[in-house]
């Protein structure tokens, strides 16, 4: 198949299938509206790895609080590193819509994870 000869094209094609499958799943269940309680449970000890895991859990929890339209942008572009154009093609929406949803999603995440921003600015001290 000519369109599948490039590894990046294959990856985009597979993610497009995944996105469409998830859309179908969402229509039948309210998967995005429920939190997976098992993922939120952590055994906390005071070591760097545990602290890192806590941060990861906070980011995961923040992602679950985004709308599905915003979450998919963060996953495709920020986590899976697809371009805006590739995400627009996979989701069959205009690139401007992708860009605006991504901007809104990042703003929401920034607000949800504001506690990290505050700690980060305190550790750097006054500018």
- CATH number, domain of 51, equals 1.10.10.10
| Segments forming the whole domain that contains residue 119 | 45-124
CA angle 76, 27, 77 (to 5 degrees): 5
Q: What value does the mean pLDDT take over residues 45-74?
A: 80
**pTM for the full model?**
0.58
Q: Which residue has better confidence, 34 or 77?
A: 77
What's residue 114's pLDDT?
Answer: 87
Q: Which residue has better confidence, 125 or 72?
A: 72
Q: For the chain, what is the mean pLDDT?
A: 75
| Residue from 118, 113, 120 nearest 58 by CA | 113
Share of the chain above pLDDT 90, in %: 28
What's residue 20's pLDDT?
Answer: 78
Cβ atoms 84, 90 nearer than 8 A: no
Cα 84 to Cα 76: distance, rounded to the nearest angstrom: 9
Cα 87 to Cα 81: distance, rounded to the nearest angstrom: 10
Split into its structural domains, the chain has a count of: 1
């Amino acid at each position: 198949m000519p369109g599948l000869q490039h590894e990046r094209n294959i990856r985009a094609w597979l993610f497009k299938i995944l996105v469409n499958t998830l859309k179908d799943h969402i229509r039948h269940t309210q998967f995005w509206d429920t939190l997976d309680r098992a993922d939120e449970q952590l055994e906390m000890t005071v070591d760097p790895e545990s602290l890192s895991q806590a941060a990861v859990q906070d980011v995961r929890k923040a992602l679950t609080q985004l709308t599905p339209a915003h979450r998919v942008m963060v996953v495709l572009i920020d986590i899976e590193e697809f371009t805006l154009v590739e995400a627009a093609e996979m989701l069959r929406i205009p690139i401007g819509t992708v860009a605006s949803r991504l901007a809104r999603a990042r703003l929401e995440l920034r607000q949800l994870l504001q506690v990290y921003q505050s700690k980060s600015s305190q550790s750097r001290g006054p500018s």
